[in-house]
Structure 1
Amino acid sequence: MQAFVATYLFFIASLYIRAAAVRRVSVPEEHYLTLDCNGLSDSPETEWRHGVSKIIATKHGEAVAYLNQKKYEFMAGGSLRIRDLQMSDAGEYLCNSRLMADVDVLEGKAFSLPVGRTLLLPCDGSDDRKQLWSFRRNKNSKRMNIFTMFRNGTVKREREDPWGRFVLHRGALEILQLVLEDTGKYFCNSNLAATLTVMEVHQHHTTTVVMETVSSDSKAKATAHKRVLMVSVIGLCVLLLLSVLLISFVLRHRRNESRRKYGTTGSRFNQDMMLQTHRLAQTGSESSQSDDENGICPDTGDSELHYASLGHQNWREKGRVQDKTHQVIYSTIAIAVPDQA
């Protein structure tokens, strides 16, 4: 049973560890996104799925197949590039049946995202020229430069970033693990790229109330998490029930063994003794009645008294005998009655 509990806890822990490794990224529509197949780059066969059942790209050695060749493209190491993102491209992406990314497609240039998510911002029309990324927190603050990327690919970091959360990812600005201080406006070459509001999510409310429509993929994820929790609770209940049944069975088995060992010997001996006493009394009554009817007086001579008792045949054996059962002892006492002459 301990092995079962250990296996069950390991299974639950693996689900949470797997969920923590998923890349949760938000990308504006009509932009491209590259997803990495982490840990599986050496596999000769690679399969990408959008959701559980929709296969979008497969690779078997040198043979490659796409659901839509204009939209999907294999990159080095099994990575997948998705072009021209649309709202229908939102959802989960799996590489070789392993969840790699949870993609959220954004509309417009004003975004409200929760703390901890990743944001990918493109620099429109800047594939072949210099990029200067800058940030302004509010109207009263100055614009601060973040990165400068030159045409030869050299990148100059211009903002302190001790945790390395701001990176240039294939020509786009990627902000990892959003925090509240990331709220503000972002510019690429002085053009507004996004107006970002980062929300602090609590259990029952958020600091910023935003009216939004929940997509079907978000509902599916919530349902999946509820199912995992339900399976965990049911598993624990079944384990508890099995433990109770096992304890009940052991106690009942021991009680039955005790009954079979000691039985009800005392009760049976008491019944036998009462039966013998009843028979002696009945015999004596019939004899007296017969003598009275015939006018015969009872014999006043020597007589005998018969009786039955429980105990040991010899009192000296009482200390030596270890058996808890009793014996029925039948005894006869001779009574001598003197003559009345």
Structure 2
Amino acid sequence: MVDSLLTRIDAIPYDDLHAMLLNHEFLYGSSLKKLSLSESSATKTSPNANSVQRSTTSSASGSPQPNRGGRCFCGRVRGGRGHGTFSSGPPGQSSGRYVLIYVDDILVTNSDASAVPVLLRQLSTEFSIKDLGPLHFFLGIEAKSKIQIQGVALHDNPTEYRSMVGALQYVTLTLSDVAFSINRAYQYMHAPTKNHWQVVKRILLYLKSTSSHGLLLERSPSRRLQTVSDADWAGDGSDRKSTGGFAIFLGPNLISWKLRKQCTVACSSTEPEYKALADASVELIWLESLFKELGLPLPSPPVLWCDNIGATYLSANPMFHARTKHVEVDCHFVCDRVAKKQLQVQFIPTHDQLADTFTKALSTARFDFLRDKLKIR
């Protein structure tokens, strides 16, 4: 029930939420007994789209309670079953006021922030309420908006930010050391803040100071493909999604790399690691077919290095349990290639994991070490 309520809070389109507490809600019985509500399309059960429903609420004992002659909440239903969200804007539109009620806890917001105090005064004349001010805690849960977390002030010129980050995307085609930073900056194109703009400036300063660096390719007789894959479990603090990445070497040379933010929130560290492992396997299949078309078949199956023991064992032993059913497709795909001896999955210690540079922020010493290993010199 609380999960459903949090989903409703997230769906409200305004950030200015105001909290209230209804004192002794059980005393008001019939003052809340008439709720004139027109149903939304999501909860409509009557064949008449414009029908008006009446909800009667009485005390737990069923006996009538004193009525204070209060004004009723009017609007269309957004939810119910003991808690609900009511809005008074025009049907089908997101504008208007929203009132979310859970027993005696109430949240109020409005498209016009100045209208919230007016609504609070109206409610206080009919009910005994306690104004808790802007939303900080609700049902014991601390609430912070994304804008508060990422920086309050928006960038003055979002077009400038989008143009710059869009151009930086081309840098990642030849320089893998800035791929993670540029990928993170790209995730805030819709509403960049001044803090995000400072990050872009630091990327530009880094590129200027390392303008002599490039991807080093050495002549080597080796045609052995090796891959390192890694994932940062729940590394994004805003939505707790994971970032996965991999790097593929032909002999000593880095020839392919990729990182991306995964679409779902992982319940265990094994899931994002295995997803990154599966993505690397797909890239290896393409490279194998490319070398075959060029008349350069690989002398041995590619080796894929992973620093997660669970993902490594799972690739060799496809015995599923409750925590891995949702990654069953990826598991079958990788296990099939391992069983056919077309791929070898090996464990690598975390301190030797070169793919860390694609999935997480690193210390300067660690970053310089990995950059050198990736042949960015």
What TM-score, normalized by structure 2, do the two folds share?
Answer: 0.22
Higher helix proportion, which one? 2
Higher strand proportion, which one? 1
What TM-score, normalized by structure 1, do the two folds share?
Answer: 0.24
